[in-house]
Structure 1
Amino acid sequence: MTGPTVHFLVPDGIDDAERVSGGNVYDRRIADGLRARGLHVRMVPVPEARTAEVAGALSNVPDDGVVLIDGLIAVPASAALSANAARLRIVVLAHMVASTLSEAHNGTRSTEGEREALHAARAVITTSDWTRSALIARALAAPDRIAVARPGTDPVPAAPGSETGARLLTVGAVAPHKGQDVLVDALAGMTDLPDWTCWVVGSLDADPDFALQTREAIRSAALAERVALTGVLSGPLLEDAYRSADLVVAPSRSESYGMVVAEALARGIPVVASCVGGVPEAIAGSPAGVLVPSGDPGALRAVLRRWRGDAGWRAAFKAEAMDSRTTRPSWEEPVGIIAEVLGEVGARADALGRERRAAG
């Protein structure tokens, strides 16, 4: 596919190894994939919540320009999107339902900015069916303008695992919506079981107070020798963490999809995850994924104790994970969907322009 330049507005930390996130990985992979299909993609990094800079970036796009904008910066700058809605062909890439994330953090819901931003878009792309359904249920976007482009995975070597299954791993910014406190609470009831360890990989700067509370909870539960807060790992260091893991745990309170779950299964690593948001889509029915209620350390602990104590179940679980590696979607799928949406938005705008010129 060829066509006009795609002006892709993304968070300014997209290439910062200390601010790695599933959304940033997704944005980079989509940009690379669109370029591979022949599109000219102009990445425009914009600081989050800096509405004046978003407005400035949009003003620099020529009339009828195609804009793909990450929802993380689109929602705070909703007024700027509305002001440019008629002039530009705007497509919002909604990694999450922003109001759902605010509820997970502080129990409040704020939808007006999100509704304004999404209504200003010619199309909305979500990364899960769950996100699409949530946007529709909250009347944040019209159903016929929402496409779903789930994250893909890369072919990666299988993680060998160990006979004891003692190495646990969780990956994600240390923040309330990722639920590391729930995991620590669950692990606090497992000190009678020998040998296991758990790496908590992810930024400690996303919510410093929560990270400090999590560190204190680890110390108070006498888990300091078993549970390590590693901070951000990327590149070969993150690959090494996955390669050495026996089980990936995703205890999130809020999750639009669950890229960590998909990445684990792509490596043949079994998963225990909260049944929340789009996580069931990331597991995609694989018997190698076990779902537990969100925010329930007792339910999580029960699965983890069985994992450590039942060698036969553990071996069967691992075998299922290895089998599921061949069923994971590639990045070509979401790239193709987004390329089609961008093409349709451009074609509709061109047709409308021709009709207006003919009428004039």
Structure 2
Amino acid sequence: MSAVFVVPVGEAPSGGHVYDERLAGALASAGRPLRTVAVPGGWPRPDAAARARLDAVLAELPDGSTVLLDGLVACGVPEVVVPHTGRLRTVVLVHLPLADETGLAPDAARDLAEREGRVLRAAARVVATSAAAAADVAARHGVHGVHAVPPGVDPAPPARGTDGASHLLCVASLTPRKGHETLLDALALVRGPAWSCECVGPLGAAGRVAELRARAGSLPVRFVGARTGPDLRAAYDAADLVVLPSRAETYGMVVTEALARAVPVVATSVGGVPEALGRDPHGRRPGLLVPPQDPAALGDALRRWLTDASLRERLRDAARLRRRNLAGWEEAARAMAAVLNREVAR
């Protein structure tokens, strides 16, 4: 019997939506299909109609069914999910702990954390997208044996870049968690060689875009909005360096998408990002890691990249070698299938 995968309706490109879609496809190719059910709503705080829709989806499943729930849908509504955990084999996939979204009021963060904990402790299995995220979820919610299923990455040709140094690319939605303020403040500190930076990702609220553009001032930074398909591939192909200045990440799929094209990365050392960056067979990182919310450290890393040709060559060489041993989606599918099959056999 195939399992059911309950996911949020995707209105804008995001790593979570890509993970869900690519994982479902890889599981189907591996002979472990999931029937995907997309539930509309303002998750993780849906209205009554969305909660009723999710409850109906779960109620329609026969007793003993295995259901994989995207944590964005499941973790904010324990009053809907927990009553079904006694008769369904529920596996919850945590892309990002709900309380880790930047900008939440303290009371809202505490409420979301409490709700998430109730759901995860009631679930039969919990999955996170990196070993670091799995350990964090287990510790913060008292859940034993959280499984790590990192995302895969699709093969891609090496990027052609521009001049090998000056074109920087940041692929991230313009939410506070992604750290664009830190990036702009860091870029303002960079002096010397010319550079340009393209920020690709959903723009969100108009006020947010205006604020970031005002902060950028006369810096050669462009906010171009969401890109998918050929347009996103073209953005990566033109990049000399990918920058990810996030305040929090459970993995950082942008990192492996860059490395699949042999593009080095400068990123913050949060969550699973060091796992995603990894090392080449010689133990070298194909990029630089800096503390989060530290414009001086990020600016120094970018300055070193722009001014030190030998550093650039070392990082590019490490990225070329790291590219060869990146995990594909078939590996993610095998790991998730092992979790689901273990649950079916319980």
TM-score, scaled to structure 1 = 0.88
* Larger radius of gyration between Structure 1 and Structure 2: 1
Letter in 2 for 1:290: L
Q: Over residues 171-226 of structure 1, what are the superposed CA-to-partner deviations in whole Å (9 max), with x where a residue is unaligned?
A: 01001100011101111123x43431100000111x5443331121112xx12xx1
Shift of 1:280: 0.7
8 Å CA contact retained: 1:6, 1:68? yes
2:19 counterpart letter in structure 1: Y
Question: Deviation of residue 120 (structure 1)?
Answer: 2.3
**Secondary structure of 2:110's match?**
coil
Aligned to 1:133: 135
The aligned counterpart of 2:183 is 183
**Kept in 1: contact 2:2–2:35 (CA 8 A):** yes
Shift of 1:115: 0.8
Residue 100 of structure 1: aligned partner = 100
Q: Which residue of 1 aligns with 2:257?
A: 263
**Contact map agreement 1:114 1:140 (CA 8 A) in 2:** no
| Superposition deviation, residue 281 in structure 1 | 0.8
CA contact (8 A) 1:8 1:68 kept: yes
Residues 109 and 209 from structure 1, CA distance in 2 versus in 1: closer, same or farther, beyond 3 angstroms? farther
SS at match of 1:327: coil
1:300-352 C-alpha deviation (Å, 9 max, x unpaired): 1111111111122212221221121101111111101111111111111xxxx
Give the alignment's Cα RMSD to 1 decimal. Answer: 1.6
Does structure 2 retain, via aligned residues, the 8 Å contact 1:275–1:294? Answer: yes
Could you tell me whether the CA contact under 8 Å between 1:105 and 1:177 is conserved in 2? no
Does the 8 Å contact 2:278/2:322 carry over to 1?
Answer: no
Tell me the residue number matched to 1:10. 7
Residues 171 and 200, structure 1, Cα contact 8 Å, conserved in 2: yes
Aligned to 1:252: 246
Q: Secondary structure at the match of 1:157?
A: coil
* d(CA) in 2 for partners of 1:242, 1:46: 31
Residues 97 and 134 in structure 1, CA contact (< 8 A), matched pair in contact too: no
Cα deviation, residue 164, structure 1: 4.6
Does structure 1 conserve the Cα–Cα contact (< 8 Å) formed by 2:6 and 2:69? yes
Structure 2 residues not aligned, in runs of 5+? none
Amino acid at match of 2:345: A
Matched, 1:75 2:75: yes
Task: Tell me, in whole angstroms, the C-alpha distance in 2 between the residues paired with 1:179 and 1:208.
Answer: 17
2: distance between equivalents of 1:26 and 1:196? 32
**Unmatched runs of 5 consecutive residues or more in structure 1:** 349-360
The farther-off stretch of 209-218 and 165-174 is 209-218
Cα contact 2:193–2:307 (8 A) shared by 1: no
Is 1:273–1:292's contact at 8 Å kept on the other side of the alignment? yes
Q: Which amino acid aligns with 2:141?
A: A
Q: Distance in 1 between matches of 2:209 and 2:170?
A: 14
Deviation sequence 1:274-313 (CA, Å, 0-9, x none): 0111111111134212100100001111111111111222
In structure 2, the residue corresponding to 1:73 is in which secondary structure?
A: helix
Q: Report the residue type matching 1:196 in the other structure.
A: W
Q: Does 1:172 align with 2:172?
A: yes
Q: CA deviation at 1:7?
A: 1.1
* Letter matched to residue 309 of structure 2: A
Supply the distance in 2 between the matched residues of 1:140 and 1:20 (Cα, whole angstroms). Answer: 32
- The letter of the residue matching 2:182 is V
Alignment of 1:1-360 (within 5 A): 4-13=1-10, 16=11, 19-47=12-40, 48=43, 49=46, 50-101=50-101, 105-106=104-105, 108-110=109-111, 111-143=113-145, 146-190=146-190, 192-205=191-204, 207-219=205-217, 222-223=218-219, 226-286=220-280, 287-348=285-346
- Looking at structure 1, the residues matched to 315 and 163 of structure 2 have their Cα atoms a distance apart, in angstroms, of 12
Instruction: Give the CA deviation at 1:140.
Output: 4.2
Alpha carbons 1:79, 1:116 under 8 Å: kept: no
Q: What TM-score, normalized to structure 2?
A: 0.92
1:125/1:148 contact within 8 Å kept = yes
Q: Cα–Cα, structure 1 residues 140 and 46, in superposed 2: closer, same or farther, change >3 Å?
A: farther
SS in 2 for 1:161: coil
CA contact (8 A) 1:118 1:140 kept: no
Letter paired with 1:197: S
- 1:40-64: CA deviations, max 9, x gaps? 4211101222322211211121221
Match of 1:358 in 2: none
Q: Report sequence identity in percent.
A: 40
Deviates more, 1:93-102 or 1:167-176: 93-102
What amino acid is the match of 1:9?
V
- Between the aligned partners of 1:187 and 1:91, the Cα distance in structure 2 is 42
